Structure 1
């Protein structure tokens, strides 16, 4: 398949979020460049949202100034989403782990359904390049807190 055909639509939703920032003022990141204006954000649920226990709920991802492409597709200013659940950001110069706290969306997905146990949870997005390594500068969302009851 032609890598241009694999390119997925850039999300241009008018939703505010904080810009990507460097950790501690030092860019410990991979070597794939990102647009310095890039913004990734969680469009739903909102920070402080209460979600129903025992039922899957939708989480959708927003991205501005970059495109979404499946893993292994190397195209300028693209990457794919990783949803971090109840964890901090991983090292920015290594592949993003793949486990129950680090969900990979290597097919270029921009939303998912998740189910979490009752309690307080955090969600955060981190963009990864074709090889699951954060960009330079790293592109990640604000961490939000949700409650499952």
Structure 2
């Protein structure tokens, strides 16, 4: 148990250092992230499963310092212009973190129309330079 706590503390410390120095990890040329499902314009019911896709990079948990990797963040009803790409992404109901390296999520969304977009973050949840961000899709939850 002590080894786990020490490792966890080191990961938190490293992630904090990445955020503090303002450095953004370089994204490889041609890297793309996209939503596999649901399809743009789909009408879905709860719970909604969103499957993430990534090309040109690998997925690694937050705190993992490996070149050309990152982890997913799902932007729900969020305009990317409102996201500070130079800082660690906040964890909110509209910016959902997948720091464990998850590549899909099943969650409840309120009935209505929603926009969804993926944004890859580095080990400290900071978007890459340039940002690796999907096209926005719209889904309607019945």
Q: TM-score range by the shorter chain?
A: 0.7 to 0.9
Across the aligned residues of Structure 1 and Structure 2, the Cα RMSD in angstroms comes to 1.4
Could you tell me which residue of structure 2 aligns to residue 110 of structure 1?
A: 103
User: Residues of 2 paired with 1:126 and 1:91: CA distance?
Assistant: 12
- Displacement of 1:74: 0.6
3-state DSSP of counterpart to 1:42: strand
Which runs of at least 4 in structure 1 moved beyond 6 Å after TM superposition? none
- 1:62 correspondence with 2:53: yes
3-state DSSP of counterpart to 2:54: strand
Report if the CA contact (8 A) 1:117-1:148 is conserved: yes
Which protein has the larger Cα radius of gyration, Structure 1 or Structure 2?
2
3-state DSSP of counterpart to 1:80: strand
**Bigger helix fraction:** 2
User: Residues of 1 paired with 2:23 and 2:140: CA distance?
Assistant: 33
3-state DSSP of counterpart to 1:62: strand
User: Residues of 1 paired with 2:51 and 2:74: CA distance?
Assistant: 10
Report if the CA contact (8 A) 1:30-1:92 is conserved: no
User: Residues of 1 paired with 2:65 and 2:26: CA distance?
Assistant: 11
User: Residues of 2 paired with 1:57 and 1:33: CA distance?
Assistant: 32
State the number of aligned residues: 120
- 1:85 correspondence with 2:86: no
User: Residues of 2 paired with 1:45 and 1:101: CA distance?
Assistant: 18
Could you tell me which residue of structure 2 aligns to residue 24 of structure 1?
A: none
